[in-house]
Amino acid sequence: MRRPLIAGNWKMNLNHLEAIAVTQKLAYSLEERDFDAVDVAIFPPFTDLRSVQTLVDGDRLRISYGAQDVSPEKSGAFTGDISASMLKKLDCTYVIVGHSERRAIHGESDELLNRKLRAVLNSEMHPIFCIGEALEIRESGQHVSYVVDQLRNGLKGLHKPDLKKIIFAYEPVWAIGTGKTATPEDAQEVCAAIRKELIKIGSEEISQNARILYGGSVKSANIVEIMKQADVDGALVGGASLEPEEFARICKFHRVI
Ligand code: PGA
Per-chain mean pLDDT for the chain: 98
Is residue 99 flagged as an active site residue?
yes
Average pLDDT, integer, range 171-194: 95
pTM over 0.95: yes
Beta strands in 122-190 (DSSP E): 126-131, 167-170
Going by CA atoms, what residue is nearest to atom 1 of ligand 1?
238
Q: Which amino acid is at 205?
A: E
What would the pLDDT profile of 213-244 be if each residue is shown by its tens digit? Answer: 999 999 999 999 999 999 999 999 999 999 99
Cβ 220 under 6 angstroms from ligand 1: no
The Cα 53–Cα 63 span in angstroms is: 10
The Cα 110–Cα 193 span in angstroms is: 19
Is there a contact between 216 and 182 (Cβ–Cβ < 8 Å)?
Answer: yes
Q: What is the DSSP letter of 234?
A: E
Going by CA atoms, what residue is nearest to atom 9 of ligand 1?
238
The confidence score (pLDDT) of residue 179 equals 87
The confidence score (pLDDT) of residue 137 equals 97
When computed from its CA atoms, the radius of gyration of the chain, rounded to whole angstroms, is 17
Is there a contact between 158 and 110 (Cβ–Cβ < 8 Å)?
Answer: no
Left, alpha or beta for 10 (phi > 0: left; psi -120 to 50: alpha)? alpha
